[in-house]
Structure 1
Amino acid sequence: MTLTIFHSGTIAADPATGQEGPTALAVADGEIVAVGEAALTLLAEADETVDLDGGYLSPSFADGHAHPLFGGLEDLGPQIRSCHSVEQIVESVRAWAQENPDAEWIIGASYDATLAPDGLFDAAWLDAAVPERPVLLRSWDYHTIWVNSAALAAAGIDAETPEPALGRIVRRADGSPLGTLMEPGAIDLVLAVTPGFSLEQRVSALQTATAKYAAAGLTWIQDAWVEPDNVEAYLTAAAQGRLNARINLAFRADPVTWRDQPEAFEAARRQVAELDSPLLTAGTVKFFLDGIIESRTACMLSPYTDAPDDSGLPNWATDELHDAMATFDRLGFQLHLHAIGDAAVRMALDGLEEVQRRNGARDRRPVIAHLQVIDPADIPRFAELGVVANFEPLWACADDVMRLLTIPRLGEKRAELQYPIASLTRAGVQVSFGSDWPVTGHHPVPGLATAVTRQTPDHAPDGGWLPNERIDVETALAAYTSGVAWQAFAEDRWGALRPGMSADLVWLAQDPRTVPAGELSAVEIRGTWLAGRPTWQHSSSPISSPRPLAAR
């Protein structure tokens, strides 16, 4: 048995015991065995000690909604996320194409949709850089792609292509495609002809992605979009010991082919269970109910302010959605529902009511993710239905996307209903936090700061955006820890620091509860432990071994 003692700092209090601010914690063989004075009495027997140097030891962070495979794969293409103009993106694509002459396709992500008027990008701009090979770039939201003319030709998209049922082909005045495609119905026309990534590329991407998560203090991730042909990559990564965090897979329910999916999802779940890896589970099915506000594909109860004839693009017919949700629920899958617009949120709640009516009551913990706009009349329904409200707190500020695209779509009055984190918390709803990485950054500390201040990194607006929806630090920490543990049905295994729990830990340089709100985003991660095993450690934070392990 290896005994590790964490000391000389503040240990996060366990809400179940009310013990406030203990100063030590003991871990043996991956499990917490003592907290506070009981841990200090074991110090002389320790094989390892960790001097917290006045810092804060917390349950590790967890991400309730993310896309680690997509995030890892971004490293394999042109690096366009940091580009601040269309010209910079085009130059990055040009340079990458020249450096990779054998690449059949140039595939990258994630460009800033605010860099072109109305978020619409022209194929001709990419043609100037790469005229002969297909180019596919995903926008930061992953609901839109920008392609060149060679990619349009490869997919057979032209002026005669009919508008897809579950997508939009943005067109010029003459009907020819501009080069911007929105939502799966249109995007999949191009993805169907791309060469894809090798198994090793995908496994390496998962290894890279989970290493980034470990460095950010996270040990559990809800992968919220898994296609069956990628399951092998997760299995291989787990079997080869290349995952640096736990991952739960959510298989994407397809509005068109969902009736053919239950057998495949069950088979994939069995494969994961048979591997019996402590780092991989597959208990969830993901539904995209709508798109995003910025492309006017989020489903709204009333039309967009800047498009009076457009209320968005629902991905499911009501009867089909209810049948699909009830089917996957009956098979024991947790339901995870993407809902951005207020109509999509209502659609999700109505669907969950129907599932309960058909399948009876049980501990489902369904998740509705993003929740950008909620009709106030629907807020009480979350607690009534036992919904976990998953927010991506980095979005809850008046950044460029919000000011230039979102608010003009919604109008000022409806814009004030966005991301009601405090309202749902006050209504007794279980809230969890996530990142939606690579849509936005994976690091939880900036998200923590945004949830508390409702400000951008440069602290705008002064006083916070929609300040009535700010929450305190303790509530935000809980959403990143015990809130996600509840979502994961793991509240008895991790998410709190008490004896018997897995030693999933993050060491912060400062106690975030004592840091001024405007300085929260600068709090550093000093170390991360997954079941007692260090997965990341700051170079200046050594673990000491007071005596040889062989002496035990």
Structure 2
Amino acid sequence: MTTTIFDGGTIWTGTGTTSDALLVVDGLIAALGAEARRAADDATQRVDLAGGFLLPSFGDGHAHPLPGGLEAVGPLVRPCTSVAEIVETVRAYAESHPDEEWITGASYDGSLAPGGLFDARWLDEAVPDRPVVLRAWDYHTVWCNSEALRRCGIDADTPDPVLGEIVHREDGSVLGTLREWGAVDLALNAAGPRPLDVRVGALRTAAQYYLARGVTWVQDAWVNAEDVEVYLEAARQDALDIRFNLAFYADPRYFDEQVATFADARQRVLDAASPLLTANTVKFFADGVVENETGALLAPYCSGLHSHGMQVWEGDSLAQAARRVDELGFQIHIHAIGDAAARQALDAIEYAITSNGPRDRRPVIAHAQLVDDADLDRFAALGVTANMQPLWAQLDALMNVLTVPRLGPERSAKQYRMNTIDAAGALSFGSDWPVSSGAPLDGIAVAVSRRTSEGEPEGGWTPEEILTMERALTAYTNGVARQAFAGQAGPSWGTIVPGASADLVWLSADPRETPALDVPRIEVRGTFLQGARVHPAS
């Protein structure tokens, strides 16, 4: 029997109470406070919190760990602050990797070019003779050089694919920017996946990234058939390192063929019998993103360029698809950015409930960037969790340059209504990493301030949607645990209560007593999974 006592700091249980001591026995929470100290003996290991703050470890309710890990494999364009810097980074990478047939990387800042439109000729200056494909921060857009366009068979006469857009110059030639996955897939499929061992390594990179930030459970919100093998191989190699739940991607173009494979893929994961891996969810896209005007809106975009945006599933097809995966016992997880998409997602979930009868579903609508007033109460009424990305709720360059001009001031002020939705008891947090930072403390700082890292605006943007620190911490811990069905197939996690798994994060300071702008600078001193310290590595 292994016993550990944590003391010397504040222990936030996530249940409205704090303690000054915690006893863990064989990976489970055994006792708190005076009872924990009485049960400890000379053989008990001690973790001195040194005045720090211990709480349940964070979960990430919506992320993309494989692409996140792969960003470290290709040219590192994410830190670049100009088009010229991206081009130079790609040039240097190509010169140092002469044997790579395709140069693929991610993820560039879409606000660095007017309208988010990037020209193939800029990349041609760096690499004219090999295909280059770079993904944007939003992961809904790619930037190709001319050779990549040629290899993909894209020219001025290529029609826009279903659910995608090939952007053209004024003279009709192809620019080099491809929007949404119908077009993005043309480039990614031509490039092909990285080797299996590289992708397993990327998954481990992602896990270590998360552990360093106090996260021990992640919802992979877009899993293709080939990704399942990556996770299974990682499980065979004991290389998962944190808890993952897989959400199989439902594509309206191929759904009838896909849905027949979802249960088999879930069974393969069950047969792997890894305590760190589940596959309980199916992911749908209801729309795209506001930044390229593919988010689905009830009223037109201000520019009118794409009118109301893009509806991925036409008519009642999303509702019918949701009903079918619900029949198979999967959790529904729907990407919905615009208010029209949120309504369609809520309608689909309501249809699945009505068709298939009551059960514990815990459906999820991810992002919920814009929700019409008439739909706000439906989240709680239908038992839907809004998994929101708190880091996005700020007036940063992306918001000011690409989002607000497209929505206009009135709609912009109704984005990310976290406080409103949380008041109804329907909120969890995620990062959408690598679209944005996967560090919960970064997102929490915005959730409790609605301010940028520079402190703008004073008093916070849409301050009525500011959360208290306790509620923000809950959304990143127990809110995600509830979304994840924690406790149904093993010990619960997300709160520090007797019998729960000792999934914990030790911070250097109490975020409740830290100014919001300083919260991202709080040190993660240790991350514990089932009582074992997994960060920093021993």
- For the criterion TM > 0.5, the same-fold answer is yes
Q: Tell me, in whole angstroms, the C-alpha distance in 2 between the residues paired with 1:193 and 1:26.
A: 54
The correspondence for 2:165, drawn from 156, 159, 168, is 168
1:488 corresponds to? 484
Q: Tell me, in whole angstroms, the C-alpha distance in 2 between the residues paired with 1:372 and 1:361.
A: 28
Q: Tell me, in whole angstroms, the C-alpha distance in 1 between the residues paired with 2:306 and 2:180.
A: 19
User: After superposition, what is the alpha-carbon deviation per residue over 1:438-494, rounded to whole angstroms, capped at 9, x for unaligned?
Assistant: 000111111111100011111111111111110000000000000000000115610
1:501 corresponds to? 500
Quick check: 2:133–2:142 contact (8 Å CA) kept in 1? Answer: yes
The residue identity in structure 1 corresponding to 2:100 is A
Q: Tell me, in whole angstroms, the C-alpha distance in 1 between the residues paired with 2:436 and 2:515.
A: 24
The residue identity in structure 1 corresponding to 2:432 is D
1:397 corresponds to? 394
2:438 corresponds to? 442
* Partner secondary structure for residue 24 of structure 1: strand
Alignment partner of 1:459 is 2:455? yes
* Partner secondary structure for residue 192 of structure 1: helix
Q: Tell me, in whole angstroms, the C-alpha distance in 2 between the residues paired with 1:81 and 1:435.
A: 16
Q: Where do residues 153-232 of structure 1 align in structure 2 (5 Å cutoff)?
A: 153-232=150-229
Q: Tell me, in whole angstroms, the C-alpha distance in 2 between the residues paired with 1:21 and 1:265.
A: 42
Tell me the TM-score normalized by structure 1: 0.95
In the superposition, relative to structure 1, how do residues 511 and 258 fare at CA in structure 2: closer, same or farther (>3 Å)? same
Q: Tell me, in whole angstroms, the C-alpha distance in 2 between the residues paired with 1:248 and 1:43.
A: 35
Q: Tell me, in whole angstroms, the C-alpha distance in 1 between the residues paired with 2:92 and 2:518.
A: 38
The correspondence for 2:108, drawn from 111, 126, 142, is 111
Quick check: 2:163–2:312 contact (8 Å CA) kept in 1? Answer: yes
The residue identity in structure 2 corresponding to 1:417 is K
Q: Tell me, in whole angstroms, the C-alpha distance in 1 between the residues paired with 2:249 and 2:259.
A: 11
Q: Tell me, in whole angstroms, the C-alpha distance in 2 between the residues paired with 1:240 and 1:309.
A: 47
Q: Tell me, in whole angstroms, the C-alpha distance in 2 between the residues paired with 1:332 and 1:304.
A: 37
The residue identity in structure 2 corresponding to 1:436 is D
Q: Tell me, in whole angstroms, the C-alpha distance in 1 between the residues paired with 2:453 and 2:484.
A: 30
Quick check: 2:295–2:310 contact (8 Å CA) kept in 1? Answer: yes
* Partner secondary structure for residue 383 of structure 2: coil
Aligned length: 535
The residue identity in structure 1 corresponding to 2:295 is A
* Partner secondary structure for residue 316 of structure 2: helix
Greater displacement, 454-463 / 393-402: 454-463
- Once the 2 structures are TM-superposed, how far is the Cα of residue 14 of structure 1 from its aligned partner? 4.6
The correspondence for 2:465, drawn from 463, 469, 479, is 469
Quick check: 1:369–1:390 contact (8 Å CA) kept in 2? Answer: yes
1:478 corresponds to? 474
1:35 corresponds to? 32
The residue identity in structure 2 corresponding to 1:439 is V
Quick check: 2:14–2:478 contact (8 Å CA) kept in 1? Answer: no
Alignment partner of 1:6 is 2:6? yes
Tell me the TM-score normalized by structure 2: 0.98
Quick check: 1:386–1:429 contact (8 Å CA) kept in 2? Answer: no
Q: Tell me, in whole angstroms, the C-alpha distance in 2 between the residues paired with 1:401 and 1:183.
A: 18
Quick check: 1:122–1:179 contact (8 Å CA) kept in 2? Answer: yes
User: After superposition, what is the alpha-carbon deviation per residue over 1:296-353, rounded to whole angstroms, capped at 9, x for unaligned?
Assistant: 0000001101226611011111322111111001000001000000000000011111
Q: Where do residues 150-549 of structure 1 align in structure 2 (5 Å cutoff)?
A: 150-307=147-304, 310-426=307-423, 428-490=424-486, 493-537=492-536
Quick check: 1:387–1:429 contact (8 Å CA) kept in 2? Answer: no
The residue identity in structure 1 corresponding to 2:498 is P
Quick check: 1:5–1:46 contact (8 Å CA) kept in 2? Answer: no
* Partner secondary structure for residue 503 of structure 1: coil
User: After superposition, what is the alpha-carbon deviation per residue over 1:253-312, rounded to whole angstroms, capped at 9, x for unaligned?
Assistant: 011111111221111100110111010000000001110001000000011012266110
2:139 corresponds to? 142
Quick check: 1:293–1:406 contact (8 Å CA) kept in 2? Answer: yes
Moved runs in structure 1, 4+ residues, more than 4 A? Answer: none
User: After superposition, what is the alpha-carbon deviation per residue over 1:498-517, rounded to whole angstroms, capped at 9, x for unaligned?
Assistant: 11000000001111112223
* Partner secondary structure for residue 423 of structure 1: helix
* Partner secondary structure for residue 23 of structure 1: strand
Uncovered stretches (5+) of structure 2, i.e. residues with no partner: none
1:542 corresponds to? none
The residue identity in structure 2 corresponding to 1:203 is V
Greater displacement, 459-468 / 139-148: 459-468
* Partner secondary structure for residue 193 of structure 1: helix
The residue identity in structure 2 corresponding to 1:403 is N
Q: Tell me, in whole angstroms, the C-alpha distance in 1 between the residues paired with 2:523 and 2:342.
A: 35
The residue identity in structure 2 corresponding to 1:457 is S
* Partner secondary structure for residue 374 of structure 1: coil
The residue identity in structure 1 corresponding to 2:372 is D
Instruction: Indicate the RMSD between aligned Cα atoms, in angstroms.
Output: 1.2
**Identical counterparts, % of pairs:** 54
* Partner secondary structure for residue 131 of structure 1: coil
In the superposition, relative to structure 1, how do residues 467 and 14 fare at CA in structure 2: closer, same or farther (>3 Å)? closer
Uncovered stretches (5+) of structure 1, i.e. residues with no partner: 540-552
Q: Tell me, in whole angstroms, the C-alpha distance in 1 between the residues paired with 2:349 and 2:220.
A: 21
Q: Tell me, in whole angstroms, the C-alpha distance in 1 between the residues paired with 2:90 and 2:500.
A: 48
* Partner secondary structure for residue 502 of structure 1: coil
User: After superposition, what is the alpha-carbon deviation per residue over 1:326-385, rounded to whole angstroms, capped at 9, x for unaligned?
Assistant: 100100000100000000000001111111121112111100000111111110111110
Quick check: 2:13–2:56 contact (8 Å CA) kept in 1? Answer: no
Q: Tell me, in whole angstroms, the C-alpha distance in 2 between the residues paired with 1:484 and 1:390.
A: 8
Q: Tell me, in whole angstroms, the C-alpha distance in 1 between the residues paired with 2:221 and 2:233.
A: 19
User: After superposition, what is the alpha-carbon deviation per residue over 1:27-54, rounded to whole angstroms, capped at 9, x for unaligned?
Assistant: 1111111111111113324431100011
- Once the 2 structures are TM-superposed, how far is the Cα of residue 156 of structure 1 from its aligned partner? 0.5
